[in-house]
Amino acid sequence: MEVLSRIIRKNGSILEIGSGSGEHGVAFQKRFPEIVWQTSDPDLIHRKSISSWIKYEELNNKMPQPITLNVENIPWKIPLKLVDSLQGIVSINMIHVARWTSTIALFRESGRLLNKGQYLILYGPFKICNKHTSLSNSLFDNSLKMQNELWGVRNLEEVSLEAEKNGFYQEDKISMPANNFSIIYRKLS
Ligand SMILES: C[S@@+](CC[C@H](N)C(=O)[O-])C[C@H]1O[C@@H](n2cnc3c(N)ncnc32)[C@H](O)[C@@H]1O
């Protein structure tokens, strides 16, 4: 929240990729009532959960229903109203539970949609210089790979290289609790 409150402008929309249950999404919408928090997920069960959270928190008049979005389905089909009002994209705990090609697609489409100065924020565990930052992250990485050999904690330098290929620079790397990081990428042009 604190990281977002430093970055979010008081207008427009934010697209959240891989919103999961939606619990974070509704919390962000409540914390930032001036903006529109647009959740998304490729999974129907998650989208139903997000809708339930929106209803439970009585945000129906403020917060749009989740959209179906798998980052690998390019070009993303997102409402024009959202494209026009977009100020940034946020993805929490997504890129390590998806194939590497999802990270590539995430930056490619974000680079196409966002304008100069706008941001893409990633939150989650990362390896730094190809090394885990904690034993727990290393064990977590192994457990991810046991579930799906294409998943895994990503190396920050490789992620940031994808960012650069698509017109972003890594503006900040903020240490978060439980050996996670918030990585702020800013569009250069
Ligand atoms: C570990 S969950 C994180 C959910 C939520 N952001 C959180 O932190 O609680 C990962 C989410 O990423 C979504 N996801 C996986 N692959 C994706 C893809 N290719 N495109 C978009 N979302 C994806 C999953 O459906 C799931 O909801």
Is 24 touching ligand 1 by the criterion CB < 6 Å? Answer: yes
| 125 and 180 Cβ atoms separated by less than 8 Å | yes
Which residue minimizes the CA distance to atom 20 of ligand 1?
70
Which residue minimizes the CA distance to atom 22 of ligand 1?
18
| 133 and 126 Cβ atoms separated by less than 8 Å | yes
CA 158 to each of CA 58, 95, 126: distance values in angstroms, whole numbers, following the listed order: 41, 12, 10
Is 92 touching ligand 1 by the criterion CB < 6 Å? Answer: yes
Is 109 touching ligand 1 by the criterion CB < 6 Å? Answer: no
Strands (E), the chain: 13-17, 36-38, 86-92, 119-124, 126-127, 154-155, 168-176, 180-187
| Domain range summary for the chain, segments of one domain joined by + | 2-187
Which residue minimizes the CA distance to atom 16 of ligand 1?
98
Pick the CATH number of 2-187 from 3.40.50.150, 3.40.50.300, 3.90.1150.10, 3.30.450.20: 3.40.50.150
With vertex at residue 112, the alpha carbon angle to CA 94 and CA 100, rounded to the nearest 5 degrees, is 30
The pLDDT confidence band at residue 1, using thresholds 50, 70 and 90, is: confident
3 state DSSP class of 63: coil
Is 17 touching ligand 1 by the criterion CB < 6 Å? Answer: yes
> For strand 180-187 and strand 168-176, is the pairing parallel, antiparallel, or unpaired?
antiparallel
> pLDDT above 90 covers what percent of the chain?
98
Ligand 1 centre distance from Cα of residue 96 (Å): 9
Ligand 1 centre distance from Cα of residue 86 (Å): 20
| Residue range 69-117, pLDDT digits in tens | 999 999 999 999 999 999 999 999 999 999 999 999 999 999 999 999 9
3 state DSSP class of 79: coil
Is 49 touching ligand 1 by the criterion CB < 6 Å? Answer: no
Q: How far apart are CA 34 and CA 9, in angstroms?
A: 9
Its pTM surpasses 0.75: yes
Cis, bond preceding 42 (omega within 30 deg of 0): no
Strand partners, 124: 181
